[in-house]
Structure 1
């Protein structure tokens, strides 16, 4: 993962805010911040943790009042104090967050923070989201050191790069190494769920024992599929031209409430594009199919004109090659004409999902049937 975004006050200030959609990393960062701010040797009464999970707007207002009281009350035995508003769920653009009681409660809390805290009082706020359009966010930004931990958008190309960095860091901490392509596969299967990602690496660590190198087969055998992993599995089903499996996975995601356009753009289109790209590359150039490292080396050896359209990693260090490598052998199940037609069909499906009232499941099922049905020989 990239380092968290920071804004406003310095890290040494009395007020700290940790935000983001990545719940696991937000909780971890907030906990570490509280531990760092807690004086050495402080007892259990030195800090006060106030749960921020509000049932409704009135509850949110009461939570803010409790935080204000905690900030203005010194510990029983004196000394420093840290107040943590943990997991506030009423600061975003939600029905509860927009209600007057919640808005006014947080404004009252900001009034207290702007008035200044006691010399030994620190405040930590963690939340999954905050409405940046409100004046309260601007006020908070002037007061606090803000860290943001957001999950990557798996519907956008290159999202794997950020997750790979975190996975590499965790593996390094455990002394693990991965065969070429194995860590990429792990990221694809775990998706944007960073807590699951770390759990899966720890599971691999326990399984390997004294062995410190993990292969692709080990990842396939041990790692559980996340929601993003199911999305990725649809891509795999497309690659091997397994219509029944693709339709089953589509049904699972739609039943889970996943957005049809997100499935189209996050799973179907990327795999079709990868199949088309490698099919054209293999037709025009000599590509090493034996191993992932050999494949990437053969890409690097191609002239820039042949690789200008290939997806690249966010840091610009090279090609985002693993999805292409996965599609390399699968592309033989399709003709170039079929892949061109499949990409055009994806565009038509996108238009239907956005501009018509057609049932989204029917639109995607027709798309998959059209792409993956057995070839008709004449």
Structure 2
């Protein structure tokens, strides 16, 4: 199928996929003639891309037309929709039309449904930072690809250090690969702690500090995160996800549920074995306290979206959150 739609916030892996597609379809000697990268600010970008995709390639290889950060899956006029309906079925096999966007395609609109019919759709979303099992699984997958063996503890520490930053994960694994050379011995957590750039001041640690009511530690973590240019709204999204998980587990345990699989399913926890540890984490807090934290977090998200200064807004609400958990 000559039409591809790549979407998601993981810019690094999406860009890797685009480069892989380019290498697979373009002849290097004819790439200047057969490759078009059309930015979103160009007038009639989609129409221009469709016209280029209908043009047969010159020389050897195929033609690749890339519509960068297109909004056609979020909004589409009737005239543009008509042009898509007319053109998409006619794109020849020798031409590849690639559409990329950071935003999730809106499945309710006709243009997205049309692309679902005619294109290969691939998602490149970041793993939420609170889904620690998925982050560890990704570390194992990429370490096998790079050729670095890790113990389970080392993989967990590496996942904690890099979070959902795919670029940093690959950079660290390549560094570790150079370090081990031809050795086949798995690296342990001590080696990871020594060699990996420690980004341990992450939003999950902030959530843990808040849960413990440790205001001093929490404020220090907020400052570190902001100094490392971590977006404030991303910090809040992680906190909301973590506290929502804690609340779900607390509510179900308080209601008398003892089936860890049932609790894990309701709380969207991938590994039911984690329920035991999560239950212990929230043992000293009441459901009302955890409900109150979500209210404060939603207020924090609202204030940031209204343009509140990130550091000061986070500090104020983090103090309030710590007081709720401490009391």
Q: Distance in 1 between matches of 2:212 and 2:273?
A: 21
Q: 2:140 aligns with which of 164, 168, 177?
A: 168
C-alpha displacement of 1:44: 2.6
What are the ranges of 5 or more consecutive residues in structure 2 without an aligned counterpart?
Answer: 251-256, 304-312
Is residue 121 from structure 1 mapped to residue 95 from structure 2 by the alignment? Answer: yes
Structure with max Cα Rg: 1
CA RMSD of aligned residues (A): 4.3
Q: 1:135 aligns with which of 101, 110, 116?
A: 110
| Range 205-214 or range 28-37, more displaced | 205-214
Is residue 85 from structure 1 mapped to residue 60 from structure 2 by the alignment? Answer: no
Q: Distance in 2 between matches of 1:365 and 1:239?
A: 11
Note if contact 1:231-1:263 (Cα within 8 Å) is conserved in structure 2: yes
What are the ranges of 5 or more consecutive residues in structure 1 without an aligned counterpart?
Answer: 1-12, 277-303, 374-378
Q: Distance in 2 between matches of 1:235 and 1:353?
A: 11
Q: Distance in 2 between matches of 1:16 and 1:357?
A: 34
From the superposition, tell whether residues 110 and 245 of structure 1 become closer, same or farther in structure 2 (CA, over 3 Å): farther
Q: Give the TM-score normalised by the residue count of structure 1.
A: 0.64
Q: 2:319 aligns with which of 365, 369, 372?
A: 365
C-alpha displacement of 1:262: 2.5
Is residue 29 from structure 1 mapped to residue 29 from structure 2 by the alignment? Answer: no
C-alpha displacement of 1:357: 11
| Residue number in structure 1 paired with 2:290 | 346
| Range 352-361 or range 242-251, more displaced | 352-361
SS of residue in 2 equivalent to 1:142: helix
Give the total of aligned pairs.
Answer: 306
Note if contact 2:285-2:325 (Cα within 8 Å) is conserved in structure 1: no
Deviations 1:258-312 (A, max 9, x none): 26753533455668999x9xxxxxxxxxxxxxxxxxxxxxxxxxxx968557758
SS of residue in 2 equivalent to 1:122: strand
Q: Give the TM-score normalised by the residue count of structure 2.
A: 0.72
| Equivalences for residues 161-240 of structure 1 within 5 A | 161-211=133-183, 212-221=185-194, 222-225=196-199, 230-235=202-207, 237=209
Q: Distance in 1 between matches of 2:210 and 2:190?
A: 21
| Equivalences for residues 312-323 of structure 1 within 5 A | 319=272, 321=274
Q: Distance in 2 between matches of 1:206 and 1:106?
A: 51
Note if contact 2:3-2:96 (Cα within 8 Å) is conserved in structure 1: yes
